[in-house]
């Protein structure tokens, strides 16, 4: 932590505070790193989905699948932007990579790998998995609903 102030021990800390701060810090860092290579975070989500489906993806299904990461409109805007940048083509309702889009995906994937390595410093894979499970259970315990593909 970047503070020299004393804090209560972790077991007395509010989980809501730390999840918000972690989310803000991760989003800010991720968006800044992607912006450096001219990729918006919703464009990354789109490019990542296309990388998983070399034959292309259905536009509406993709908006439904990853729209909850931000908003469905953010994904519509990402599709429009990626199309304008020449990364994606659309035939009927099918979205596919262009060669430039595949190249941009590889660049963005490299950035994401570096960011993941950075985030995992001092965190074991087991602790990471436990953290995810704890957050999932906490969401369920308070009546929330969250899903990530």
Domains of the chain, first to last? 39-118 (1.10.10.10)
pTM: 0.87
> Are the CB atoms for 135 and 19 separated by under 8 Å?
yes
Quick one: pLDDT at residue 1? Answer: 58
Instruction: Return per-residue pLDDT of the chain as tens, 149 residues.
Output: 566 788 888 888 899 999 999 999 999 999 999 999 999 999 999 999 999 998 999 999 999 999 999 999 999 999 999 999 999 999 999 999 999 999 999 999 999 999 999 999 999 999 999 999 999 999 999 999 887 87
The dihedral built from the CA positions of residue 118, 122, 125 and 130, taken in this order, carries a sign that is: negative
Distance CA 137, CA 149 (A): 17
């Amino acid at each position: 932590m970047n503070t020299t102030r004393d804090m209560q021990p972790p077991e007395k800390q509010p989980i809501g505070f730390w999840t918000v701060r972690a989310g803000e810090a991760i989003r800010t860092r991720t968006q800044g790193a992607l912006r450096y290579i001219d990729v918006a975070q919703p464009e990354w989500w789109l490019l990542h989905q296309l990388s998983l489906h070399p034959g292309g993806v259905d536009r509406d299904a993709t908006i439904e699948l990853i729209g909850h990461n931000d908003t469905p409109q953010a994904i519509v805007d990402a599709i429009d932007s990626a199309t304008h940048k020449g990364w994606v083509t659309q035939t009927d309702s099918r979205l596919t990579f262009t060669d430039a889009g595949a190249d941009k995906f590889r660049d963005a994937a490299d950035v994401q790998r570096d960011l993941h390595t950075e985030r995992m410093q001092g965190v074991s894979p087991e602790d990471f998995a436990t953290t995810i499970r704890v957050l999932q259970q906490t969401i369920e315990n308070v009546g929330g609903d969250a899903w990530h593909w």
